[in-house]
Structure 1
Amino acid sequence: MLLGSVVYNKRRSLNLTQSDLAKDLCNQNTISKLEKHNMTPQIEVLIKICKRLDLTLDQIFSDFSSDYQREKTYVLDNIEQDAVLDDTSDLEEKLALVKKNVNKEDMAQLHLIEAIVDFRAGKLEDASFNLDKINLETKMDNDNIYTMLSFLIKGKVCLEQDNIEMSEYYFKIVYDAIKENFNFSNAKDFEILYLCKELGLAFAKLGKRELTSQIIHRGIEYAKKNGRMYFLDEFYMSLAISKHDSKNYEKYKNMAYYTALAVQHDKIAKEIEGWD
């Protein structure tokens, strides 16, 4: 059954008008065009429509549709990006729409998202369990970005548990993998920059200022080269922390603050305001 027909039938079964379904999500014309098979809305809008109708993406796309497989991959990428950017609003609900039928080749990505969610919630054992599942999927291949991200978060878990020796072990694996280049065949820009940002912060917490500066500068260089703004304010903030007793402290602090304002990252800007 076509997408528009599934949405139409479900909407009618719930006694919703097109306006009811569209309220606060999109305009009524979008629903009309969708049901007439004249358009497919952006995936973020489609996810919200699914939630309102209590549908999953598996229910509104054909199991044999190549378009569906592309959409699932696109949705997972967006969910992962939300997770690493700390945009946790509706994260678990979005994940529930696709997790039941994730392809085997995307399982490592799914487990990474789950591990990040668990880690942020303080569920360190659950995070470790999902990280172990990543390494089963990737066979601990150091050329796979998800292996490196799993080791990174493993190190963060150990750091939270005050297991400094093991945290340094995992961070060294990641550092050795990226100190020369970012040679990952399956990496996206935000993943590379997240890796640099979190590794730099970890080294800063461990008092390894030289390594912090080295990794953060590489992240900034990569961001500028590829025209990305991900984490730039946090990069400069890490440099300020690592240079706290040097003449460059004020420079990096100001760069972090004004970059945070530019990208409307109010949380970071307020944190920096509280430094003095």
Structure 2
Amino acid sequence: MKINGKIISTRRKELGLTQQELAEGICNQATISVLETKNACDSMKILGEICQRLKLTFDDVLEKSFDEKLRALLAKVIDLTSEFKFQEAYQLLEGISDVEEIENSDLKAEVYYNFGNINLVGFHEIDKALYYFYEVSTMNVTQVMIKSLAINSIGVCYAQKGEWEFARGHFDKSLQLIEENPDFVTKNVSKIFYNVAKFYSSLGDFSRAVALCDQGLELYKQFKSTSYLDFLYYEKAFNLQHLDEEKAKKYFALSAGIAEFNDNQFIIDTINSGQVNHLEG
């Protein structure tokens, strides 16, 4: 198996151990030398004991493929974005040497989508965001959800530009992709329904907005996650204010509870202020 020997060597030195001291009772010194210089180990038992002595995990020392490293980086980008740390997230993406050279089309699409999302939500650079979202919308991907998210986000861009018919067309197309590909639905579906509901709400169609929120919530039941759920409940409550104020209170409370769990101070502060408005998602 392929090992990142540099991590083992660095930790050993941090702990003030020689190769012989690290090997004691586990293996011989030559095995440690091979681990550190040739990045190889034939025994999971030996590697496990070495990791235990160095207070490392297998995940720390096993060499990852480019795709695995990229997935880990994208997970960090998503976490930072959810915490509104857009500049840090963008810097991580900029660290990818050449996006065009990424062979995995799904991962390339995710990189472009995240560039677009940060430009749109974090920096309010609509035209830059549109470039990245259009790139994703034309790519041949197996994960339909990322394409639906990109098309949905194009709708958001056009809505912000006040180009309502272009926005409506892209919002409807993003929903159509979900309807046609139910097996590919992920927890990100809540963001799509949130954006479309917010669009129809801005047009004064509050009943349709609530119905869209309910569709998203119904699909979302299969996921054991609260990611973005606070936004979807907030949007339902926002629209219910125009239809049934008592019900609206219930969903504002649900949104606030989930927001507290998600450490989403943005929604909590908005609800507590009493100045409830459309939120940027």
Match of 1:53 in 2: none
Deviation at 1:274, TM superposition (A): 1.2
Q: Matched residue of 1:225: which SS?
A: coil
Report how far residue 7 of structure 1 moved: 4.4
Aligned partner of 2:229 in structure 1 is 232
C-alpha deviation, 1:78, in angstroms: 0.9
Q: What is the identity, as a one-letter code, of the residue corresponding to 2:129? A: A
Superposition TM-score, scaled by structure 1 size: 0.70
Deviation of 1:37 (Å): 6.3
Over 3 Å counting, the alpha-carbon distance change for 1:4 and 1:152 in structure 2 is same
TM superposition shift of 1:236:
1.6
Contact 2:151 2:170 in 1 (8 A): yes
Measure the CA separation in 2 of the matches of 1:202 and 1:75: 33
The Cα of 1:205 is off from its aligned counterpart by: 2.5
Shift of 1:167: 1.1
How does 1:1-276 map onto structure 2 within 5 Å? 4-7=4-7, 18=14, 39=51, 67-79=64-76, 81-82=78-79, 85-88=82-85, 90-98=88-96, 100=98, 102-105=102-105, 106-120=107-121, 121-138=123-140, 144-178=144-178, 181=179, 183=181, 186-187=184-185, 189-245=186-242, 246-247=244-245, 248-275=247-274
**Structure 1 residues 258, 37: closer, same or farther in 2, change over 3 A?**
same
- Answer yes or no: is the 8 Å Cα contact 1:108–1:138 preserved in 2: no
Q: Which amino acid aligns with 1:206?
A: L
Structure 1 gap ranges (5+): 20-33, 47-59, 62-66
- Report the aligned-residue RMSD: 3.6
On the 8 A contact 2:197/2:212 being kept in 1, the answer is yes
The alpha carbon displacement at 1:271 in A equals 0.4
What amino acid is aligned across from residue 191 of structure 1 in structure 2? N
Deviation at 1:134, TM superposition (A): 1.1
Equivalents in 2 of 1:99, 1:135: separation in Å? 23
Q: What percentage of aligned pairs have identical amino acids?
A: 13
Give, in whole Å, the separation in 2 of the partners of 1:228 and 1:111.
Answer: 24
What amino acid is the match of 1:170? H
The structure-2 alpha-carbon separation of the partners of 1:42 and 1:194, relative to structure 1 and needing over 3 Å to count, comes to farther
Deviations 1:190-242 (A, max 9, x none): 32222222222233223232232122112222333322212222122111111
Mapped partners of 1:136, 1:113: distance in 2: 16
Structure 1 99/144 Cα, relative in aligned 2: closer, same or farther at 3 Å?
Answer: farther
Unaligned 5+ segments in structure 2 are 16-34, 37-45, 276-281
Change (3 A) 1:18 1:94: farther
Q: Please list the CA deviations of residues 71-98 of structure 1 after superposition, one character each: whole Å capped at 9, or x if unmatched.
A: 2353255146336635436212332444
Q: Which residue of 1 aligns with 2:39?
A: none
The structure having more radius of gyration, on CA atoms, is: 2
Cα distance between partner residues in 1 of 2:73 and 2:182: 19
Residue identity matched to 1:161: K
Classify 1:164/1:132 alpha carbon distance in 2 versus 1 (closer, same or farther; 3 Å).
same
User: 250-259 vs 234-243, which deviates more?
Assistant: 250-259
Contact 1:84 / 1:194 at 8 angstroms: preserved in 2?
Answer: no
Q: Which runs of 4+ in 1 moved over 4 A?
A: 34-43, 184-187
8 Å CA contact retained: 2:77, 2:92: no
Q: Secondary structure at the match of 1:227?
A: coil
